[in-house]
Structure 1
Amino acid sequence: MSKELTYLNFILLNIGHAVHNADWNWRNVCSPFIRVHLVESGTASLIREDKTYELKKNHLYLTPAYTNHGYKCEGHLSLHYIHIYEEVGSQTSIFDLIDAPVEIKADPLIIRLIKRLAGINPERKLPHFDPWSYDNLPTLVRNIARQKAVPLGYEMEAQGIIKQVLSRFLLLATDKNLHIDKRILQSLHYIRTHLHKPISVDALAAAGFLTKDHFIRLFKKEIGSTPGKYINEKKIEKAQRMMMTKDISIKDLAYGLGFGNNAYFNRFFKKQTGENPGNYKKRIRLLASGDIPK
């Protein structure tokens, strides 16, 4: 498993304790952040990819970002919840590289650490448990901006506890996409870790000892997209994340993602998102400040 995972950073969005009584029933939840649940007592189900997991006392449950899932609760349930935003930076997402277990038993230390994290972040409790009330762009941007203002000591402690929690899942994780052609896996790893640079399809093909045409056909067969389209989509996704977490000029953003032509970046960003990067950045900044335009 890649050691680059060690350098990933996380932003605490929400943490708290919830008691449900047949009122935790949601379908088609798909969030841009990681969810971890620690079950304290009661019964409920987590549904992921048509598989149902019956929640157990003193067990942890992991749902990566952008994973469609649902919950079913017909009685009493007491649990702790943590919502974590993965700040990818120049690296790649954990869950692009590994398949982690959904359920693991929580050891006593992890239970204490989760309670400690909740104790030092009382303001991070959810006011409502309906996902549609907090699982939206304005709330996400505000939570990210709020965490950036946390004192360094608490921020370091939160990072440490979050990594401790996720480490328990990583110990049982396996490398992702082992069925994919090794030459394409190699190119995916390079793309995901070099989004800050220009990426040549010719160079990717040569690294796999393939002709360019053969490489493009094989990449499309394995990934469902041409390498050029995949590269640019990942760059635009990273641009959106960067605009959420830092104040950066559009020009610096374009060059920092390996777009030699600023105008090309603007055109491709608008094609991907339906909005030019300048307007997108302005809207994100307004959301972060809480000044939402009518």
Structure 2
Amino acid sequence: MHGTKENLDLILLNVGYSELNANWNWKKIYSPFARIYYIKDGIAKTNIANQTYILEPNHLYLTPPFTEHDDECDSYFSLFYIHFYENLINKESVFDKFDFPIGIKATPLDLLLTERLLKINPDRHLRHFDPQLYDNPPTFSQYVADNNKMPLHSVVETQGILSQLMSRFLELVRIKTYDKDSRINKSLKYIHENIDKNISISDLSDAACISEDHFIRIFKNVMNQTPVRYINLKKIEKAQLLLLTTERAIRDIAFDLSIDNISYFNRVFKQYMNMTPSKYRKKYSK
């Protein structure tokens, strides 16, 4: 990756080491959190977008947030796992900007870094392996409490290790908008950096420096969806993160995203997630 500066603010949720025996099988995992795995021994599979990836020893694997996937394992399998998220305030996510490789060959340093991350965060392992039992507000509150109790030098070292591991993937990323119209690139950046605001077609066409009708036609051609649908998708992704990482009322979350009509918010959320915000929060708060 060249010509782009990134200042990553990555927050650790979990780090741990597990030895499993055909009991790492989960379907339709969909989380606002990112995952990095270092495979120590054995073989497993993960399925993303109808493509199967074999998880092999001495490799690092990255699953971006908001990526539905299935995990499969039918024999002995051991791995280090790292769960984290980006702390974003009016900033474009690195996962919005780039397509990441799923797996890369690990180096001896990658293993040392992963082991070090576990050593300085010894109590951050998962208490449950079912994603529905750990991606939820009460569990997240404990993560926040753990982070707040860490000494500054451990916080800095933790963030440094996460950034180093992510840099291994960033070295091989492809800019998502590389082959897109530069005018659409500008509009996407505007959406990502203003998702908490009421974004109009006029705002986007102004950012792209073209007429509204022309902008809509180009956007649909490049993105295979309307600007409104894309804006709503990004608002719902942000809503999912807020539902799982805060105790804020659903109405307040809608207001945070500049959606004043709670009925409309519920309707749009259900269109994308096949359930209402309250059911989504309840499902992941078991």
What interval of TM-score do these two structures reach, taking the shorter chain for normalisation?
A: 0.7 to 0.9
Task: Please name the residue that 2:205 is paired with.
Answer: 205
Is the 2:254–2:265 Cα contact (8 Å) retained in structure 1? no
Matches of 1:132 and 1:243, distance apart in 2: 14
Amino acid at match of 2:182: K
Matches of 1:162 and 1:174, distance apart in 2: 20
Counting only pairs closer than 5 Å after superposition, residues 169-188 of structure 1 correspond to structure 2 as 169-188=169-188
Is the 1:36–1:61 Cα contact (8 Å) retained in structure 2? yes
Over residues 29-78 of structure 1, what are the superposed CA-to-partner deviations in whole Å (9 max), with x where a residue is unaligned?
Answer: 11111111101111222222222222222110110111111122121111
SS at match of 2:6: helix
Question: RMSD value over aligned CA atoms?
Answer: 3.5
Over residues 204-246 of structure 1, what are the superposed CA-to-partner deviations in whole Å (9 max), with x where a residue is unaligned?
Answer: 3244342112212332443355435644664565477568768
Task: Please name the residue that 1:81 is paired with.
Answer: 81
Task: Please name the residue that 2:134 is paired with.
Answer: 134
Task: Please name the residue that 2:43 is paired with.
Answer: 43
Counting only pairs closer than 5 Å after superposition, residues 187-202 of structure 1 correspond to structure 2 as 187-195=187-195, 199=199, 201-202=201-202
TM-aligned CA distance change 1:187 to 1:239, over 3 Å: same
Specify every segment of 5 or more residues in structure 1 that has no aligned partner in the other structure, as ranges: 275-279, 285-291
Q: In the comparison of the two structures, how many residue pairs are matched?
A: 277
TM-aligned CA distance change 1:207 to 1:44, over 3 Å: closer
Amino acid at match of 2:144: I
Is the 2:39–2:78 Cα contact (8 Å) retained in structure 1? yes
Specify every segment of 5 or more residues in structure 2 that has no aligned partner in the other structure, as ranges: 271-276
Matches of 1:80 and 1:166, distance apart in 2: 15
TM-score normalised per structure 2: 0.80
Task: Please name the residue that 1:164 is paired with.
Answer: 164
Matches of 2:135 and 2:240, distance apart in 1: 17
Task: Please name the residue that 2:273 is paired with.
Answer: none
Is the 2:136–2:244 Cα contact (8 Å) retained in structure 1? no
Task: Please name the residue that 1:66 is paired with.
Answer: 66
SS at match of 2:214: helix
TM-aligned CA distance change 1:41 to 1:131, over 3 Å: same
Task: Please name the residue that 1:115 is paired with.
Answer: 115
Over residues 153-190 of structure 1, what are the superposed CA-to-partner deviations in whole Å (9 max), with x where a residue is unaligned?
Answer: 21111110000000000001111143433321221012
Matches of 1:256 and 1:48, distance apart in 2: 31
SS at match of 1:18: strand
Amino acid at match of 2:83: H
Task: Work out the percentage of aligned pairs sharing the same amino acid.
Answer: 43
